[in-house]
Chains A and B, each alone.
Chain A
């Protein structure tokens, strides 16, 4: 809209290095008053880092930021707010027991102390009316829907004089009507001359609301254009932007019997999480089904439902032909189901306990670890020594507590334990999260070996590269559903990217391409 005028914000050559990883590798970003800029990218593409730098939460290694003609340097969130930058975080920062007015007064800091409640509530009402926020200044925040709470955050930012609003994944917790409402608020803000940075991975929303779209990948801008000139297909391939490459040596899959089958599995959403709706798929012996998707689209719930940590309300789960829908975790372990959850600390490992104890965490009541209820300490030791040498766990002794190990060595304990059972089916979620390349390679290699030995593996990850490298078939989850499953040969990054971005199902992709 106002693209030709002097930009409100100009970020130039922003670099931020974390260890050997460049989170931001020289990013330029320009935002004009009265416009909405969409920032699109996968997890870990550098969006959050860039915005943290802009908001003063993280200091850039190099680069300049000019806001309203003045350079921002080494600033703090407080300075950013003072300059006129407001950030609406994904997780709201509100005191639930207080009213909207009180929350606004709190956010104003020392200046707020001198204000009268009545004045502030009048201002809240005016702001709310001006931007169509529909907020009652005296409503208690704890009673509000998430959509309204988000608008309270917007009021807070506006009343602190924000001219640039950063919305971080603003629609991730909202229901569809609330999303529509938010988009109309954003249009009002734009019409009033505010600048907005809209961070999202949902292609549809970005195309709908943004004037310009900037696509980040691996810390660099890989695409920047007016949104009118963009297509979903184009954006999806920009966002994902890789070709399939064979990272690992692998034999071609020779799938055998169906070892895991899900039929129409549905799980209601827990507060703050996703549910599952109507999940149906099967995985055969000697096959890896890799599931991609942006975090929070039901992957965790799917893994927990198969592992028995969450009851399937509807549908059936079969393991090697046996119905396990209503069995507990222990029974599923005994039937040959292993599970590597995403959360290491406190779920798959007890940090304060020893390596040996963690290696028997899920098998302690079975031989050889215990006989008639008595722990067998020599079995524990033998097993621990065996796992330490077989998996190259770097530890002086099996009796030290796991919290003293590196993440890679910790995860090796989990993998060693889950593979030791010679499982028929393995569910692994983000199994290489936070690990160095060596440990990552080692663990993926072990999973491939397990597949070659005839297990069925479901590998869930938001790292597309891993999904593409591992999967014999590749599935995509979006909004608690399987958006599609395709064979490795048919996998195509554009298609996967579109499914990850939602709004597209397998069939509609076919239509577009046809």
Chain B
């Protein structure tokens, strides 16, 4: 069953191959909703009403849809990186910290250089975010390779450092003086992401996410680097035998994931808040792991998986507001869905011999 996690049987039509696991994933999502119905009943609400509220909350109006798309953007960006890392069996769970550092770096660029041209301004801040995330992730990769510390531990612990670094920065050099809340000054208008649809909140971030997913898919399946990552993930012994450098592949995939997460952080700052605020990255990095797994580590499939998570969140938030179902149920629904999906796919079983 482990084979279903990621190797389509053929190499030439991987871009949109509908694998049996895709159907199983969809079935598992449906089953997740079924189980959730029982939980909703248990808090005294009517599941059908609840689901209608969720659906309306997610898709009920253009405004709700745009909200969901914005929400899905960091999940998709960060999820792509996670799926590439997991493909290479480099277990990077540092998305959270990489987003935080990306947001910090983008904010720093935006507050330091008053660039008038919006395209150049946004581009530089985005690059700042990408660079920050890449450096942060490479640092984790370096510690993992150089000192032999498990990468799960390094990336996990560096999340705390990153989030606290951002908080510290907001309390000192980058914070808004006299704000009374740990936040940076507002970005100037030329550093704010333009709207995709006028009159809504939908910013152009989702486009970055879609392009990144497609590019990642191409890198994974159509380049020799992607081939090396796939070999590396399948068998360390085979990768060594093939002459691939463990260091370069590990740092490379970590840096790519860090860059995408950093971009997600920059987009959150420039598209949603227009400033850096404490805790802005909360939960994105960890949920992105769930997104990547839900997508069976296929970069293109991160798009629907990220959208599912984004809309599920906006929908359940509406449910909470309108019929008083606790918002913690959102997390329960996500958890139940994840478990069912992973069970349906046979899990990320480690391969024998590697």
Contact = CB atoms under 8 A, between A and B. Distances in A.
Contacts of B35: none
A369 B224 contact: yes
A339 B351 CA distance: 24
Interface in B326-354: 351-354
Contact of A364 (B10, B227, B237, B351): B227
A348 B352 CA distance: 15
A326 B59 CA distance: 62
B231 interface: yes
A370 interface: yes
B234 interface: yes
Contacts of A343: 237
Contact of B243 (A330, A377, A401): A330
Interface string A486-499: 00000000000000
A343 B243 CA distance: 16
B224 A353 contact: no
B235 A350 contact: yes
Contact of A375 (B223, B240, B241, B352): B223
Given A309-B240, A341-B241, A370-B224, A346 B354 contact: yes
Interface in B219-250: 221-228, 230-231, 234-235, 237-238, 240-245
Contacts of A362: 241-243
Q: Which of B9, B225, B238 has most chain A Cβ within 10 Å? A: B238
A349 interface: yes
A352 B8 CA distance: 10
A380 interface: yes
A354 B11 contact: yes
B243 A348 contact: no
A432 B234 CA distance: 24
A347 interface: yes
A373 B241 contact: no
Interface string A87-125: 000000000000000000000000000000000000000
B147 interface: no
Contacts of B223: 370, 373-375
Interface in A291-345: 307-309, 328-333, 339, 341, 343, 345
Given A353-B7, A354-B10, A365-B224, A346 B237 contact: yes
Contacts of A330: 243-245
A475 interface: no
A356 B11 contact: yes
Given A329-B240, A347-B238, A352-B234, A399 B228 contact: no
A328 B243 contact: yes
A364 B235 contact: no
Given A329-B240, A375-B223, A354 B235 contact: no
A418 to B, nearest CB: 11
Contacts of A29: none
A174 interface: no
Contacts of A401: 3, 7, 9
A503 B10 CA distance: 54
A400 interface: yes
Contacts of B240: 309, 329
Contact of B242 (A331, A361, A375, A400): A361
A404 B223 CA distance: 25
Chain B: interface size category: 20 to 34
A350 B238 contact: yes
Q: Which of B12, B245, B351 has the most CB of A within 10 A?
A: B12
Contacts of A339: 241
Nearest to B236: A346
Contacts of B230: 353
Interface string B181-225: 000000000000000000000000000000000000000011111
A346 B351 CA distance: 9
Contacts of B353: 345-346
Contacts of A377: 11-12, 222
Given A373-B224, A374-B222, A350 B12 contact: no
A396 to B, nearest CB: 12
A44 B155 CA distance: 48
Nearest to B235: A346
Given A365-B228, A370-B223, A348 B238 contact: yes
B9 A354 contact: yes
Given A329-B241, A345-B353, A364 B224 contact: yes
A364 B228 contact: yes
Contacts of B241: 307, 309, 329, 339, 341, 347-348, 361-362
Given A346-B353, A346-B354, A350-B234, A364 B242 contact: yes
Contacts of B231: 350, 353, 361
A466 interface: no
Given A347-B235, A399-B12, 16 more contacts: A309-B240, A332-B243, A339-B241, A343-B237, A346-B353, A346-B354, A352-B351, A361-B242, A364-B227, A370-B224, A373-B223, A377-B11, A377-B222, A400-B9, A401-B3, A401-B7
14 contacts: A328-B245, A330-B245, A333-B243, A346-B351, A348-B241, A350-B234, A356-B11, A357-B11, A370-B223, A373-B223, A375-B223, A377-B222, A399-B9, A399-B10
The 10 closest A-B pairs by CB, nearest first: A330-B243, A329-B243, A346-B353, A370-B224, A399-B10, A365-B224, A347-B237, A346-B235, A350-B234, A362-B242
Interface of A: 307-309, 328-333, 339, 341, 343, 345-350, 352-354, 356-357, 360-362, 364-365, 369-370, 373-375, 377, 380, 399-401
